[in-house]
Amino acid sequence: MNESIETNSLASEQAPTITSWLTLLLACACGLIAANIYYAQPLIGPISSQLELSEHAAGLIVTLTQLGYGLGLLLVVPLGDLFENKRLAISILGIGAVGLLVSGLSGSVGPFLVASFLVGLGSVTVQILVPYAAHLSPEAIRGRVVGNVMSGLMLGIMLARPVSSLITYFESWRAVFFMSCILMFVLAIVLSFVLPARPVKAQLKYSQMLKSMVELVKNTPMLRRRALYHGCMFGVFSLFWTTTPLLLAGPEFGLSQKGIALFALAGVAGAVAAPIAGRIADRGWIKLATGAAMILAIIAFAITFIAPLGSSLSLAIFVVAGIVLDFAVSANLVLGQRVIFALAPEVRGRLNGLYMTTFFCFGAIGSALGGWLFASYGWFSVSITGVICVFSALVYFLFEPSN
């Protein structure tokens, strides 16, 4: 780690003060906020139909949200090293709430895509809260605390798809965004009263902070490796969950929004991976667990070839594949965060921002590529792409230095 960066970005480390109820609150908050990124994922069919967006461009509905999230990770999350964390988190949360409101009100593609970008930008609040939890945690249980908070985040991500599908089935896709907008305003009020302030002392200007991030990338090989590992994992995660609703609603399976919601609900089981991974990381088994997560992701795509599309067996296999893939991605995310959070506490916000930015860019590519691949060549091309991407990461991982 570059010594000048450590010297110029001094942050006051609080004594560990996190409690069980505060961990629970942060987990719930992260889950509710993170869900905003994924509500539209199973709804790209009805949204694109009503807003007259072509099938080939339908993936933009998810991609713009992820791009907003990625930009926020790069430019907003590192501000956690410079500004009081609670006030910063609540301010950014407000941007997301506005985006949700505009999403529900939009009558054409342009405003909706702009609003989607704002939703993604506002959702980076979760990546201000996760390092905040790490700052308040003793080293001995930091992996466990981060894992517990991330379990809430992953639960929110995985519940977002079935919840939005069910709301759309009984009401409309616009109701999803209106309801979440209300939740964000309520959450902002709760956090403003409950979270303890975490002031920081920084000697950097914003421009200097951005420049220091370039140095962090250059001088932190483990950050680069973990970001690439999870970039490939999250890219195929987005690839899978962007295309499977289209496949399941198509002629092979013919599922309704309710059926797609039940399918997505099965993936929630993968959220249990986060706290498990956190405990594994605290025991020092990070490398072994990382390799296992990548192999599980490859298996998730590979098993979809076993039965003909449209059969009952094929549907069951896709349910299993969704659970396995979500489990693998959740575990790998927590393992990566445990590694980078241990590198340098005074630049934790920047490290987390760079890590998350990298893999969310991969996620945005996965969403856009998935929609195009599926519309052009079908599920076979999607699954092959998923296998190749994770296998490439696995090969790179096998050459990771042991020290």
Domain contains 343 = yes
CATH of the domain at 357: 1.20.1250.20
Which residues fall within 8 angstroms of residue 316, CB to CB, at 6 or more apart? Answer: none
- The Cα–Cα gap between 137 and 18 comes to 6
What is the count of structural domains for the chain? 1
pLDDT by residue, tens only, the chain of 403 residues: 444 444 333 334 444 567 778 888 999 999 999 999 888 877 887 888 888 776 666 667 777 887 888 888 888 887 877 788 888 999 999 999 999 999 999 888 888 889 999 999 999 999 888 878 877 777 767 777 777 887 788 788 778 878 888 898 888 899 999 999 999 999 999 999 988 887 776 667 778 878 888 888 888 888 999 999 999 999 999 899 888 888 998 888 988 877 877 787 776 776 667 677 777 877 878 888 999 999 999 999 999 999 889 899 999 999 999 989 988 988 888 888 888 877 877 777 788 778 888 887 888 788 888 888 888 888 999 999 999 999 999 999 998 776 5
One-letter amino acid identity for 386?
Answer: G
Contacts of 270 by beta carbon, 8 Å cutoff, 6+ apart: 154, 158, 322, 323, 324, 325, 326, 327, 328, 329, 330
Residue 6 has what pLDDT? Answer: 40
Residues in the chain: 403
Q: What does the radius of gyration of the chain's CA atoms come to, in whole angstroms?
A: 20
Whole-model pTM: value is 0.72
Distance CA 195, CA 396 (A): 40
Token reading at 91: 């301010």
**Does residue 403 form part of some domain?**
no
- Is there a domain that residue 5 lies in? no
CA distance 92 to 114: 16
Residue 274's domain spans which residues? 17-398
What amino acid is encoded at 131 in this protein? P
The CA distances from residue 93 to 164, 314, 362, in Å, are: 20, 40, 24
Measured CA to CA, the distance from residue 11 to residue 55 in angstroms comes to 48
Cα–Cα nearest to 300, from 316, 321, 273: 321
Domain membership of residue 96 (yes or no) is: yes
Within-domain flag for 8: no
Name 65's Cβ contacts closer than 8 Å, sequence gap at least 6.
Answer: 36, 37, 40, 116, 117, 119, 120, 123
CA 166 to chain centre: 22
Q: How far apart are CA 178 and CA 160, in angstroms?
A: 14
Contact criterion met (CB below 8 Å) for 126 and 33: yes
Q: ∠286-154-209 over CA atoms, to 5°?
A: 70
| Whole-number pLDDT of residue 146 | 76
Scan for tokens 């490796």, then name that residue.
225
Q: Is 4 part of a structural domain of the chain?
A: no
Q: CA–CA separation, 298 vs 87, rounded Å?
A: 41
Distance, CA of 26 to CA of 32 (rounded, Å):
10
Alpha carbon of 324 to those of 12, 277, 368, 382, 395: distances in Å? 40, 14, 23, 17, 20
User: For residue 211, what pLDDT is reported?
Assistant: 83
Residue 2 lies in a domain: no
pLDDT at 204: 72
Q: What Å distances lie between residue 27 and 57, 129, 242, 307, CA to CA?
A: 34, 9, 25, 38
HSE at residue 305, side-chain half, CA atoms within 13 A, is: 11
The reported pLDDT for the residue numbered 3 is 43
Q: Taking phi first (over 0 means left), then psi (-120 to 50 degrees means alpha), and beta for anything else, what does residue 254 get? A: left
Domain assignment present for 302: yes
